[in-house]
A and B are shown apart, each in its own frame.
Chain A
Amino acid sequence: MTASSASTSETGTASAPPAVLEVRDLSVHFRQGRGHPPLRAVDGVSFAVRAGETVGLVGESGSGKSTIGRAVLGLNPVTEGRISFAGDDITRAAPRVRRRLSSRLQVVFQDPYSSLNPARTIGQTLAEPLLVHEKSGRAETAERVAAMLRRVGMPADAADRYPGQFSGGQRQRIAIARALMLSPQLVICDEPVSALDLSIQAQVMNLLAELQDELALSYLFIAHDLPVVRHLSHRVLVLYRGQVLESGDAGAVYDRPAHPYTQALLAAAPEPDPAAQRARRASRAAAKAEPGPPSPTGCVFAHRCPQVADRCRTERPELRVLAPEPAPRAVACHLVDELP
């Protein structure tokens, strides 16, 4: 039923470094009230993030990408499946375990305006993890806060100021600094640049890339903006309605999208050339979605798929590894061999 059979191909290679994060057959269902079937926000997703690697989760809103991140952080109850961090099962970790884990697993959220406590100075916010985990002295704490602020491109005197005195981009740098205070192994980046101006986005993305090189960080990078994900990710998972439709090497997925949904998603990014953009709009208008909800047994994308065949509506395609690719690549589509 669920598209999980390809997961072994993603994680099982002998030469690969050990996975920092491993998610297996993860399902998160939300109750929708009496008489309604549960909402399958995440439906049988498997992937792994290795040391120093960035895995991107892309998809439109409602695809379940943020829910996966939140499940890893323990913010959503997991319905089925297993999440392990460096080999330890953290699927339903107790708060005490989470507290210990927080020195190795951190998060940067989307909204820079709500992600910092407005009533505390930047210094207090950044020092908090140090005080909890290491009980370090005042002078040393202040020193490390200042060093981290410098590292993310903020003046050291920012420590005495409040979040309200900084712009969105600066606050996002501070949020990144907070995540990195304890030198974690994995940072969940939940749309970290989506709320920022384009030029600021680029700065923050470059900062994330530099920090990854320096600190051998792993990122689970969640975004709806494809160029952003491509820029930072080594591998990507394309999600739709809680299921992985395509996964593989970031460059390959972008240059040669195999799944009709990935193709549609790439085509949805605006085109700088107005003539090309017009042509694309016309072709998109021609391929209208079928009315009604998607078939419960078939492919989740069937009702919107331009290439839909009869078996797509009755039989759910499993994630299958594509043969000729040099890097592992998996697609959940019956028609993958027939598509252009």
Chain B
Amino acid sequence: MAILRLVVRRLLSSLPLLFIVSAFTFVLVSLVPGDPARTIVGQHATEEQYENVRAQLGLDESLPVQYWNWLEGVVRGDLGASLFSGEPVTAMLNNRLPVSLSLIIAATVVSGIAGVALGVLSARRGGALVRTVDVLALLGLAVPAFWLALVLIAFFAVQFRWLPVTGYVPLGEDPVEWARSLVLPVVSMSLSAVAIIAKQTRDSVLDTMTKDFIRVMEANGFRDRSILYRHILRNAALPVVTVLGVVMVSLLAGTVFVETVFAMPGLGGVTQQATVQHDIPVIQGAVLYITVVVVVVNLLVDLAYGRLDPRVRA
């Protein structure tokens, strides 16, 4: 019951956030040089044709009026239509959301499992594994995901032909191909996330291991495994969950590059294309979707806190 109230309260409090983010995006996009009407009519059109298109698209109105019109639509559940294809934005984004969500969720699961496993192992073993995690972390942070993606394509898709070069197969169509099409994008997105999570997990486990309640258990003859799994991990999980939330949000940003490199029809790709074209309704819609995803991720992190740490439950 308390959880339900928390969820409702958090979702309600995110409404102003959505408003602010959308207004901010609107202003930003308008400030960027470029004019969709000019792009549509082309360079050789008459001034009259250009004015007609502007009026058609509603671009002749003042900025606040344009924003107000958009906002009115949002409240009715209508995000408008693409300035270029005329396709309704909601339909466009709903088609693309599963692609990005598949990427983000798969990358989060992969980097969560691999990162925690590496972190725990290096906390317990020390030595070479610690240095490996450190090098991996440095590498993961230094190597951009899109470059790694290109290298992976060159090796695993072009050279060895184990995996598809680009593209995306929907889960409903062919689960195996879906998984195969995700491997390279997910790996290239996950490297830095694995490193960050592994480092955080290691520090957190090491910190918990020095706590006196673990000392008491050791003095009582509980060694290693049973102590580690039952007591250390749960207490060490909190900072890791925090990092996982941050990592998920940064993975969302990563989809923009990775979807472009792998030619995947996801939110990131469409945002990138719309930004280049100044397709304001699409940008606004995509930003709205992404903000909602971020809000949900943060909500999940907060709920996980409550499960993990009684101090947070209040």
Which chain A residues have a beta carbon within 8 Å of chain B's beta carbons?
Answer: 73-75, 95-102, 105-107, 109-111, 114-119, 121, 125, 129, 132, 162, 164, 178
Known: A115-B211, A115-B212, A178-B216. 10 other contacts (CB 8 A): A74-B221, A96-B221, A98-B220, A99-B221, A107-B215, A109-B216, A119-B310, A129-B220, A132-B220, A164-B310
Question: Chain B nearest CB: distance from A177 CB in Å?
Answer: 13
Give bound CA distance, A56 to B159, whole Å.
73
Residue contact B311 to A75, C-beta cutoff 8 Å: no
Residue contact B211 to A114, C-beta cutoff 8 Å: yes
Whether B231 is near chain A, meaning CB under 8 Å from some CB there, is: yes
Known: A95-B221, A99-B222. A118 touches B311 (CB 8 A): yes
Residue contact B215 to A109, C-beta cutoff 8 Å: yes
Question: Chain A nearest CB: distance from B87 CB in Å?
Answer: 50
Binary CB contact string for chain B from 199 to 233 against chain A (1 if under 8 A, 0 otherwise): 00000000000011101101111110000000100
Whether B234 is near chain A, meaning CB under 8 Å from some CB there, is: yes
Q: Per a CB cutoff under 8 Å, which of A100, A117, A178 touches B221?
A: A100
Give bound CA distance, A118 to B231, whole Å.
10
Q: Please give the number of chain B residues whose Cβ is less than 8 angstroms from any Cβ of chain A in the complex.
A: 18
List 8 contacting pairs A-B, 8 Å CB cutoff, sorted by A.
A74-B218, A74-B219, A96-B221, A105-B219, A109-B215, A111-B212, A114-B212, A121-B310
Determine the chain B residues whose CB is within 8 A of the CB of A121 once the complex forms: 310
Residue contact A98 to B221, C-beta cutoff 8 Å: yes
Question: Chain A nearest CB: distance from B222 CB in Å?
Answer: 7
Whether B78 is near chain A, meaning CB under 8 Å from some CB there, is: no
Determine the chain A residues whose CB is within 8 A of the CB of B211 once the complex forms: 114-115
Residue contact B311 to A164, C-beta cutoff 8 Å: yes
Determine the chain A residues whose CB is within 8 A of the CB of B212 once the complex forms: 109-111, 114-115
Which chain B residues have a beta carbon within 8 Å of chain A's beta carbons?
Answer: 211-213, 215-216, 218-223, 231, 234-235, 308-311
Residue contact B219 to A162, C-beta cutoff 8 Å: no
Residue contact B311 to A102, C-beta cutoff 8 Å: no
Determine the chain A residues whose CB is within 8 A of the CB of B216 once the complex forms: 107, 109, 115, 178
Q: Per a CB cutoff under 8 Å, which of B213, B218, B220, B222 touches A115?
A: B213
Known: A95-B223, A109-B212. A118 touches B218 (CB 8 A): no
Which of chain B's residues has its CB closest to A125's CB?
Answer: B213
Determine the chain B residues whose CB is within 8 A of the CB of A115 once the complex forms: 211-213, 215-216
Q: Per a CB cutoff under 8 Å, which of B221, B223, B231 touches A102?
A: B221
Determine the chain B residues whose CB is within 8 A of the CB of A98 once the complex forms: 219-221
Which of chain B's residues has its CB closest to A72's CB?
Answer: B219
Which of chain A's residues has its CB closest to B309's CB?
Answer: A119
Give bound CA distance, A95 to B308, whole Å.
29
Give bound CA distance, A297 to B308, whole Å.
55
Q: Per a CB cutoff under 8 Å, which of B221, B222, B310 touches A101?
A: B221
Determine the chain B residues whose CB is within 8 A of the CB of A117 once the complex forms: 213, 231, 235
Determine the chain B residues whose CB is within 8 A of the CB of A73 once the complex forms: 218-219
Question: Chain A nearest CB: distance from B228 CB in Å?
Answer: 13
